[in-house]
Amino acid sequence: MGFYRKKPVVVEAIQWTGDNLKEIVDFIGWHESASSRWTWDEYEGVVSAEGLKIFTPEGPHMATVGDYIIKGVKGECYPCKPDIFEQTYYEVAGKGV
């Protein structure tokens, strides 16, 4: 067994407030399964009723209000609970490079 430290990688993230769906979709893109099934107004209704679903490489994950949506190093997106996010990441100026 060994001990490992996470490499310092800058990621983009946005917090899901429950009122910023447009910002979230602008950030991660409108998934083809949603865009082919619903108009924007219908999609807002679905998210309001069922919650925000984030499509990750491992499959869909539900994001709850307060979760951060992270864009990983390969452009993949996934939700992260606020307490884990705050223990793992800190804000950097600009693009962090």
pTM of the model: 0.85
pLDDT of residue 79: 98
pLDDT of residue 7: 79
Q: Are 24 and 69 in contact (CB under 8 A)?
A: yes
Tell me which residues of the chain have a pLDDT lower than 50. Answer: none
Report residue 40 CA to chain centroid gap. Answer: 19
pLDDT of residue 58: 95
What is the spatial distance between Cα 13 and Cα 3, in angstroms, rounded to a whole number? 27
pLDDT of residue 95: 66
